[in-house]
Amino acid sequence: MNIEEYSYLWTTEKEDTVLVNTEFGYGIVNKKQHTVLSISDTATSQAVIKKMLEEGNKIYENILDAYADI
C-alpha cells in the first residue's frame, strides 16, 4: 500500500491537519478549514492515521477543541 499521496497531511499541512478522537477511532480533521477527510478504504485510512501518529500530528478529544486551537 502506498500512502505517499497523503504525505501532505504530515508534511506541508501538518500544522492544520490533526487527529480527533471518537468512539470509532481517530478522524482526520483540517482544523483551519473545518473539514474532515473521510477515507472509505479501511486499510489505507488506518495506515494514514498510523503515519500521522508517528509524525506527531496533534491529537484532540473533540472536534470543537481542535477548531478552537488556531
CB of residue 37 to other proteins, shortest distance in Å: 5
Task: Give strand pairing partners of 29.
Answer: 18, 36
37 binds other proteins (CB under 8 A): yes
29 binds other proteins (CB under 8 A): yes
Q: Which C-beta is closer to other proteins: that of 14 or that of 67?
A: 67
Task: Provide the grid cell at 8.
Answer: 501532505
Task: Indicate which single residue of 33, 55, 68, 69 sits in contact with other proteins (rule: CB under 8 A).
Answer: 33
For residue 9, which phi and psi values (nearest 5 degrees)? -65, -30
Q: Are 49 and 55 in contact (CB under 8 A)?
A: no
Q: Report the C-alpha gap between 48 and 11 in whole angstroms.
A: 13
Query: Which residues of the shown chain bind other proteins in the complex (CB under 8 A)?
Result: 20, 22-27, 29-30, 33-42, 44-45, 62-64, 67
